[in-house]
Amino acid sequence: MKKNRLFFSATLALLASMMVACGGGAAKSESKVENGEQQNAEKTDSEYSGMKIVLILPGSIDDQSWNASNNAGAKQCDKELGTKIEVVESVPVEEFEQTFTEYGEKGYDLVMAAGSQFDEACAAVAPQYEKTVYTIINGTKSDSDNMVPVFPKEYEGSYIAGVIAGYTTENGNFATMGGESNLAMVHLLDTYEGIAVATAKERGLADARANRSFLNTWTDVSIGKAMASQMIDNGADTVFCYSNEATSGAIQATAEKKAKFVGFAANKNEEVIV
C-alpha cells in the first residue's frame, strides 16, 4: 500500500539521518558512472512529494540534542525522498492531544512525534483517525492499527559513550543524568553505566561506580547545572547527561568545575559555555 511504503521509507530515512546528525556530520550522496555519465544515487521519489506529513517536537530545534537531531532527520528525508515534512517545535504536554487531533482533522497521512512522552496522547487520539498513520519515535504503544511506534537502538550509541567514559575517567566515579525515567532512557543509561564501570575496572579502578539522577525536565538548564554540580562535588569526574536543552546546564557545570563531559545525541564540541 502507498501509505505503508511512505511510512517505512520516510521513517527509515528519518532515523538514518538522525544518526548522521548525532555524529555531527552531513549526509553524503553516492554517485556512480553508467554509460560514461555520472548519476546521483540519491534520487527524489515524487510519489512522496504530495503526502501530508508532520513531525511534532517537545522542545526547540536549537537544543543541540534530541529535537535538533529529529529536525535534521526530517530535512534529510525531504532531500532524499522529496517529502515536505512540516516541523512543529516546542509543543507543551498539555497540548499533545490537541495537536494530534488538529492534524488528524486536517487529514494528514503521517503524524510523527519525537519522544515517549507522547504515547498516552497518541493512544487517546489515533483511533479516531484511522486514515492517518501515527508514529511515536521511542514509543511503546500500538493500541490501534494506525499506531506504529519506532524504537531506535539509542543504547548502542550509549555503549560507545560508556567505553569512552571508562577510558576518560581518572577516579572511576561517573555521574549519569536523564530527562525522565522511561523504558528507553533506563535501557540507555543501564548500558552506558555498565560498560563505563566495567572499562574503568579493567583499567585498575577497582572502586569504579556510577550514580544516577533523573532531572524530570527536558528544558530547564538551571536544574541540569545544579544537579551536575552537586554530583561533581560528591566526587564524580565524568558526567553524562541526556536531557535535551537541560543538558547545556550539565555542560556548563563540568566546564566550571573542570570535570569531563561525554556528549550524546549531537556534537557538543561546538556548544558555547556561558
Residue-range domain boundaries for the chain: 43-152, 154-261
DSSP bridge pairs for 247: none
Residues 85-104 have pLDDT tens digits of 999 999 999 999 999 999 99
pLDDT, position 69: 87
Q: What single letter denotes the amino acid at residue 246?
A: A
Q: Which CATH number fits domain 43-152: 3.30.360.10, 3.40.50.10490, 3.40.50.2300, 3.40.50.1820?
A: 3.40.50.2300
Residue (of 109, 114, 113) closest to 49 by Cα position = 109
Cα–Cα nearest to 243, from 71, 84, 49, 58: 58
**What was the pLDDT predicted at 11?**
55
Tell me what pLDDT residue 85 has. Answer: 94
Residues of the chain with pLDDT under 70: 1-46, 266-274
Nearest to 254 by CA among 223, 234, 229: 229
Element of type H or E holding 147: none
Cell of 123: 493512544
DSSP H helical ranges for 84-143: 96-105, 119-125
- Count CA atoms closer than 13 A to 240's CA, side-chain side: 31
> Is CATH 3.40.50.2300 the right assignment for the domain spanning 154-261?
yes
Using alpha carbons, select from 79, 87, 20, 13 the residue that is nearest to residue 267: 20
